[in-house]
Amino acid sequence: MINIAIDGPAGAGKSTVARAIAKDYGYIYVDTGALYRALAYKAINNGIDVKDEINVTRMLGSTKLDITYTEKGQRIILDGEDISDSIRTAQISMGASDISALPFVREWLLDMQKDIARKNDCIMDGRDIGTTILPDAEIKIFLTASVEERANRRYKELVAKGESITLEAVIEDVKTRDYNDSHRAVSPLKKADDAIEVDTTNLDFGQTVNTIKEIIDTHIGGEK
Ligand code: DC
């Protein structure tokens, strides 16, 4: 199986780029952030503090999380319900960042992620894919962009979805999430030693996709 890891901070463009590449190469696209988002969604909806390890751990004891791949792409099934379209809000983003810092949460999601990669050619995005989940991935990309550029992209997405939020608030959110994601004790956001860094601050979507495809083709001989 071919496994491609894409890590990087929030808003660097990982998901759109990974989705496009997966389609072109016939791989599945695995969005691991959605797993943390699903758990944050459940906690928030049940009045559980996403930083409270004891209560979150208790919650996981009665949680069933499944990930499936359909023609609509990845779907996240939480306790039997497809919640994939409800986990993209600013509130869930922040909750996911907080809940992902809990070591037990990361451990709880570990096998599920490894298992998908074992069984499928895939391109998997997240924060710790190249360092922890798939240390032996054939290709590792670390996608970055400046805070301002990433916040601007996220702001446009949220506004397009009808959320009322200011650019300043999104910049603050991005900075807070960057800090949280790269300072947590377990599997922090970090470029793997053997990852190739791609800075997308001045690249548009097409240029980013082409840059990554060149990297993939050089490493795996352009097999499609
Ligand atoms: O990629 P995203 O914005 O959907 O991720 C939401 C949060 O989940 C992010 O702030 C950090 C966390 N996360 C993580 O800790 N490890 C991953 N592999 C993916 C996401």
- Give the model confidence (pLDDT) of 160-183 as tens digits: 989 899 999 999 999 998 998 899
Instruction: Give the pLDDT mean for 184-208.
Output: 94
Two structure tokens written together for 180: 């949280």
CA–CA gap between residue 85 and residue 221 (Å, rounded): 36
Instruction: Give the pLDDT mean for 88-117.
Output: 95
Question: Per DSSP, what are the bridge partners of residue 66?
Answer: 77
Give tens-digit pLDDT for 24-49: 999 999 999 999 999 999 999 999 99
E-strand stretches of 39-148: 65-70, 73-78, 81-82, 122-126, 139-144
Return left, alpha or beta for 14; rule: phi > 0 is left, psi -120 to 50 is alpha, else beta: alpha
Q: Is the pLDDT of residue 196 over 60?
A: yes
Cβ-count burial 56-70 (b if 16+ within 10 Å, e if not): beebbeeeebebeee
Which residue lies with its CA nearest to atom 11 of ligand 1? 97
- Position 220 scores a pLDDT of 85
Which residue lies with its CA nearest to atom 15 of ligand 1? 100
Instruction: Give the pLDDT mean for 182-209.
Output: 94
Instruction: Give the pLDDT mean for 85-111.
Output: 95
Q: How many angstroms separate the Cα of 121 from the Cα of each of 11, 21, 203, 211, 222?
A: 24, 12, 27, 20, 14
Q: Mean pLDDT over all residues of the chain? A: 94
Instruction: Give the pLDDT mean for 181-207.
Output: 94
- Ligand 1: does its nearest atom lie under 6 Å from the Cβ of 153? no
Q: Is the pLDDT of residue 157 over 90?
A: no
- Position 124 scores a pLDDT of 98
Residue 118 makes CB contacts below 8 A (sequence gap 6+) with 1
Ligand 1 pocket: which of 31, 67, 97, 178 to mutate (most atoms within 8 A of CB): 97
Confidence band (pLDDT; 50, 70, 90) for 202? very high
CA–CA gap between residue 106 and residue 100 (Å, rounded): 6
- Position 72 scores a pLDDT of 84
- Position 109 scores a pLDDT of 98
- Ligand 1: does its nearest atom lie under 6 Å from the Cβ of 177? yes
Assign 69 to helix, strand or coil.
strand
Q: Is the pLDDT of residue 191 over 50?
A: yes
Assign 53 to helix, strand or coil.
helix
Q: How many angstroms separate the Cα of 100 from the Cα of each of 17, 90, 153, 224?
A: 23, 15, 23, 34
Which residue lies with its CA nearest to atom 2 of ligand 1? 33
Question: Per DSSP, what are the bridge partners of residue 120?
Answer: none
- Position 224 scores a pLDDT of 47
Q: How far is the CA of 214 from the centre of ligand 1 (A)?
A: 26
Which residue lies with its CA nearest to atom 4 of ligand 1? 33
Q: What is the pTM of this model?
A: 0.92
